[in-house]
């Protein structure tokens, strides 16, 4: 099998993230998995951190697998992140998403076998 690509496709990550509907949230691990890198959860965060496509990519909809918010430029950004999520219908309580499973949106792994 021709396995050539080792690095994550940033464009693909952003595309998938953009596919996340409003009022729903996903996790870094899920995103990593969707792009074909099940162990690159952290890398996803790194890509978000760079955030080259600022408001184009809803990086604020990406949270920890535990249901917590995660980062967003530090503890300061968390408040803003929580507010944005709450505004979209995702209630955040004490830095944790309420009914996380309910708002969780698993990204279709259809593009996992992307060249």
- The residues that touch DNA, with contacts defined as CB under 7 A, are 6-8, 10, 27-30, 37, 39-51, 59, 62, 64-66, 70-74, 77
In whole angstroms, give the CA distance from residue 30 to residue 16: 10
Contacts of 46 (CB under 8 A, 6+ apart): none
Closest CB 34 distance from DNA, rounded Å: 12
Rg (CA), the chain: 14
Closest CB 98 distance from DNA, rounded Å: 13
Among this protein's residues, is 59 annotated catalytic?
A: yes
Active-site entry in 34, 59, 69, 107: 59
How is residue 32 written in tokens? 């990593």
Active site residue ranges: 59
């Amino acid at each position: 099998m021709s396995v050539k690509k080792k690095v994550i496709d940033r464009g693909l990550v952003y595309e998938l993230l953009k596919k996340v509907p409003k009022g729903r949230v996903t996790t870094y691990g899920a995103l990593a998995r969707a792009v074909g890198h099940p162990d690159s959860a952290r890398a996803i965060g790194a890509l978000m951190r760079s955030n080259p496509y600022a408001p184009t990519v809803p990086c604020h909809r990406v949270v920890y697998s535990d249901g917590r918010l995660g980062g967003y430029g530090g503890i300061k950004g968390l408040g803003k992140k929580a507010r944005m999520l709450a505004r979209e219908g995702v209630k955040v309580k004490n830095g944790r998403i309420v009914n996380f499973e309910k708002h969780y949106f698993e990204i279709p792994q259809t593009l996992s076998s992307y060249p």
